[in-house]
Amino acid sequence: MESREAMIQPVDVVRWRGPSRATDCDSIVIEEPLEIRVNDRPLAVTMRTPGDDEALALGFLVSEGILTTATQVFDVLRCADPDHPDLRNIINVMVEPALAPPSSELNRQRYATSSCGLCGRATIESVRHCAPPLPTPPHFDRGVLLTLPDRLRAGQSAFERTGGLHAAGLFNKEGQLLHLAEDVGRHNAVDKVIGLALHNGPWPPDETILMVSGRAGFEIVQKAAVARIPALCSVSAPSSLAVELAREMNLVLAGFLRGDSMNLYAGAEFVM
C-alpha cells in the first residue's frame, strides 16, 4: 500500500466552535484524473485519489471484462502527460493484442466521476456477457461478517485524517484482511482491491468477502460478480438493481452491517 501522504493535502480553514472563530489547518483528500490506456491507446479517464494506481487500472480492466488472469498482462507502465510532466497520471496496461478493446471503443475515451463509475457498459446485459452466474457460494459465518466493518475501519489511515475517503477491503472467510484500498470514489476503491488481488493473489478470489464503506450500488455488485467474488457486505443500503443482479449472479449480498445486526438481500441460505 502506498504512502497515505500522497493522498492528503493540507489546507487553511476557518473553524467556528460555538461563538469562537479560529484559523486552523485541515487535511483534505486529493482528487486528480487518471487516464487508463490499453496498449498505448486511451480507454478511460477516472477521477481518483492517488495511490495504488496500477492496481486501479488492472481492477478496472477486470471489471470491464477485458482481463481475467494476471498472465494476460505483459506490463503496467506509468507515463507522464507531455503537458503536465510532473503528474504522471497515466497508466498504460500492455495486454495480449487480442484482448484489447476494438479501435472504435478505444477511440471513444470515456470519463468517470468519483461518485459514479463508468456506466456505458455497466448494464446487466454486459455482466451476463462478461461472466456467468457464480457457482454455489461457500458458506460464511455470520459472526465473521459482523466483524468486517470494524476491521475495515481499522485499516483506513487516510480516512482517519480526512473523513473524505471510501474504503474497500478483501477478506478471507475467517475475516483476515487480504487487501485494502481507499479512494474518493467507492468504485475506484473496489477496482484497486480487485487489481491488488489480481497482482498479488488470491486469484480467482472465489472464497473471499468484499467489504465496502459506502452503499452497495449496482456498479459495486457488477465488479464483484465479474471478479468472481462471492460475497459483498456494506455498512449501508443496496439499490434495487444491485439486489436484482446479486440474486441473478448468485452472490451473497449483506447490507447495514452495524453492531450485531445486518440485512441479507441475496444468498441468505449461505450465511450461518
**What pLDDT is attached to residue 12?**
83
Given a contact cutoff of 8 angstroms between Cβ atoms, the answer to whether 182 and 156 are in contact is: yes
| Nine-digit cell string for 240 | 434495487
Compute and round to an integer the Cα radius of gyration of the chain. Answer: 19
Q: Determine which one of 25, 116, 130, 233 is catalytic.
A: 116
**CA–CA distance, 73 with 239 (Å, rounded to integer):** 34
pLDDT means per 10 residues, the chain with 272 residues, are 66 78 80 90 90 95 93 92 73 94 63 50 59 89 95 76 78 96 91 96 95 90 94 91 90 92 92 91
116 annotated active-site: yes
Of 175, 195, 189, 197, which is closest to residue 217 (Cα–Cα)? 189
Please tell me the predicted confidence (pLDDT) of residue 128: 65
Q: What is the pTM of this model?
A: 0.85
The residues near 35 (Cβ < 8 Å, ≥ 6 apart) are: 42, 44, 45, 81, 89, 90, 91
Per the CB < 8 A criterion, the answer to whether 253 and 272 are in contact is no
Question: What residues contact 90, with CB distance under 8 A and at least 6 apart?
Answer: 34, 35, 37, 78, 79, 80, 81
Residue ranges of domains in the chain, CATH in brackets: 32-122 (3.10.20.10), 142-270 (3.40.140.10)
Say how far apart CA 229 and CA 71 lie, in whole Å.
Answer: 19
pLDDT for res 175: 96
Contact 187, 219 (CB under 8 A): yes
Q: What pLDDT, on the 0 to 100 scale, is given for residue 144?
A: 97
Q: Which three cell numbers stand for residue 33?
A: 484524473
* Beta-bridge partners for 95: 73
- Under the phi-then-psi rule, with left for phi > 0, alpha for psi from -120 to 50, and beta for the rest, what region is 15? beta
47 Cβ partners below 8 Å, 6+ apart?
A: 31, 32, 33, 34, 112, 113, 114, 184, 185
Q: How far apart are CA 138 and CA 255, in angstroms?
A: 18
